[in-house]
Structures are given as C-alpha cells and as structure tokens.
C-alpha cells in the first residue's frame, strides 16, 4: 500500500472549518483514500473514503486532487468533540489490511 | 456498520501470566483483525484472524506469544501469553463487514506489573 504523509499536529477554532491534508504521492490507480479518527480512549472511527471524486457525508468532506497525489479532509464546523488523531490511509480495496501511520493530532480550541 | 463488544475493557496482570481478550461482533463479518497500541503510539496490526484456520501474523508477532482463535464469523479471541511489562498496551479488535468501513472495538487496556 502507498505511504501517506500527514502533519503531526494542527489546531483550529471551534465553529471554523478544519482542513487536514494528506500526501500520498505513490498512490496507484486502484487504491482508495480512507480517513479514520481516534478520539482519546476509544477505538478508531471510520469517517469517509474516496477513489478519485470528491466525497461528502454527514461527518466530513474529502477533496482529492486531480492527480490523486494528495487529499484534504474537511470538517466544516469543528466542535470540541472533533479533537482526535486523524489517520489518512491508502488501501487497494476494502478487503485490505488497515495500516496506520502516525496521523494528525487535531486540537479544537474554544 | 457492525458493532463490536470487547472484553475485558481493562485489566492489571502479573508478569508471567496470560490474558485472553474476547471480541464479539453483532453480525457476521468477513474479516477480523487484532491491533496493539502502545502508550502514545499509533496502532500496529498483530494479525488477521481467519475463520476456521490459523491466524496470519504480521512481522514481529508470533503465534506462541499471541495465539488467536476465530471459531465462527462473529467471534475471536486474542491471548497475550507469558506477559511482561513491555506487553502493557491497548489491544483492539477490528472487523470488516458488508459495509465499506472497518469497525473497531473500544479496546482492552492491559497493564502488566
């Protein structure tokens, strides 16, 4: 699976959009971009995934660049409960093993 | 998505003993996995629990230390054997069902003294 690079930490103000970048420059054509988050003392939680089109669900939006070498997870109105470690993971298919990198620690401040 | 119940949620164990962690899924799932998360670290995959056959272990993990069972499509156990303080971690179960995402249990926080 392709390797991903994320900033170690970020912060944003409550109510503002949180934009979390991820680089995956070696991604191949059949690999998906998945985002998970881990709130303190909980197991990881699925957020969203995409192949090449932008995706939106009730939790977030995923913007994938046209060359697919990077993506951005957008939490449109961050709340304190969004404080967590966010993981960007590249997978060939949903049957692949999830391999976690170091992720981005997002702190939402009041 | 599948819902996972993991037991125990935490335990304190003496070195040299073994602990078995149970993972129960509320629906049949195709794949189940076990992860370890050491303090302040990311998750590391221990093994894939295969139904009806031996688990597939990742590099650095062996069956003698982490025996795994998966007797059916909804249940798996991980045993941490002959524990030492270095085994103090959070152990998490994960499952892949018919939906697109992987679901995780809330983890077992193990402290070895």
Q: What is the pLDDT of residue B98?
A: 61
Please state, in angstroms and as integers, the Cα–Cα distance from residue A75 to each residue in A13, A15, A52, B27, following that order. 12, 10, 19, 30
Q: Residue A94 pLDDT > 90, yes or no?
A: no
Q: What is the pLDDT of residue A59?
A: 94
Query: Tens digit of pLDDT for each residue in A54-80?
Result: 999 999 999 999 999 999 999 999 999
For residue A1, what pLDDT band results from cuts at 50, 70 and 90? low
For residue A84, what pLDDT band results from cuts at 50, 70 and 90? very high
CA–CA dist B98, B30 (Å, integer)? 8
Using the Cβ of B27 and the Cβ atoms of chain A, whether some distance falls under 8 Å is answered with no
Q: What is the pLDDT of residue A92?
A: 84
CA–CA dist A87, A105 (Å, integer)? 9
Q: Residue B25 pLDDT > 90, yes or no?
A: yes
Picking from A36, A49, A97, the nearest residue to B45 by CB comes out as A97
Q: What is the pLDDT of residue A54?
A: 94
Q: Residue A95 pLDDT > 80, yes or no?
A: no
For residue B100, what pLDDT band results from cuts at 50, 70 and 90? low
Contacts of A45 in chain B (CB under 8 A): 104
- pLDDT higher at B64 or A30: B64
Average pLDDT, chain A: 93
Q: A33-42, B83-92, B96-105: which has the minimum mean pLDDT? A: B96-105
Tokens of A46: 């699925």
Mean pLDDT of B90-99: 86
Contacts of B94 in chain A (CB under 8 A): 43-44, 98
CA–CA dist B104, B5 (Å, integer)? 9
Using the Cβ of A5 and the Cβ atoms of chain B, whether some distance falls under 8 Å is answered with no
What lies within 8 Å, CB to CB, of A13 at 6+ separation is A78, A108, A109, A110
Average pLDDT, chain B: 94
Contacts of A34 in chain B (CB under 8 A): 101
Q: What is the pLDDT of residue A96?
A: 79
Query: Tens digit of pLDDT for each residue in B39-71?
Result: 999 999 999 999 888 999 999 999 999 999 999
Say whether B102 and A98 touch across the interface (CB within 8 A): yes
Picking from B33, B35, B101, the nearest residue to A46 by CB comes out as B101
Q: Min CA distance, B104 vs chain A (Å)?
A: 5
Q: Percent of chain A, pLDDT > 70?
A: 96
Q: What is the pLDDT of residue A97?
A: 85
CA B72 to chain centre: 15
Phi (first) and psi of residue B80, to 5 degrees:
-100, 115
Strand ranges, E, within chain B: 4-7, 10-13, 19-25, 31-37, 43-49, 56-57, 68-72, 75-80, 89-96, 102-104, 108-112
């Amino acid at each position: 699976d392709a390797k991903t690079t994320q900033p170690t930490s970020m912060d944003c103000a409550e109510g503002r959009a949180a934009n979390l970048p991820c680089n995956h420059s070696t991604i191949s054509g059949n690999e998906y971009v998945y985002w998970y988050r881990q709130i303190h003392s909980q197991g990881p939680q699925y957020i969203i995934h995409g192949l090449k089109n932008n995706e939106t669900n009730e939790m977030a939006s995923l913007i994938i660049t046209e060359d697919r070498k990077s993506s951005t997870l957008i939490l449109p109105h961050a709340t304190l409960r969004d404080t967590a470690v966010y993981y960007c993971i590249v997978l060939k298919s949903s049957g692949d093993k999830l391999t976690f990198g170091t992720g981005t620690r997002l702190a939402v401040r009041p | 998505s599948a819902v996972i119940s993991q037991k125990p949620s935490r335990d304190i164990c003496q070195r040299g003993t073994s602990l078995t962690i149970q993972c129960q899924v509320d629906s049949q799932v195709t794949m189940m996995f076990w992860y370890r998360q050491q303090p302040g670290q990311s998750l590391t995959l221990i093994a894939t629990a295969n139904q009806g056959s031996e688990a597939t272990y990742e590099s650095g993990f062996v069956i003698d230390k982490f025996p795994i069972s998966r007797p059916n499509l909804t249940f798996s156990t991980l045993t941490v054997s002959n524990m030492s303080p270095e085994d103090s971690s959070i152990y998490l179960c994960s499952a892949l069902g018919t939906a697109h995402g992987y679901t995780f249990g809330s983890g077992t926080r193990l402290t070895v003294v």
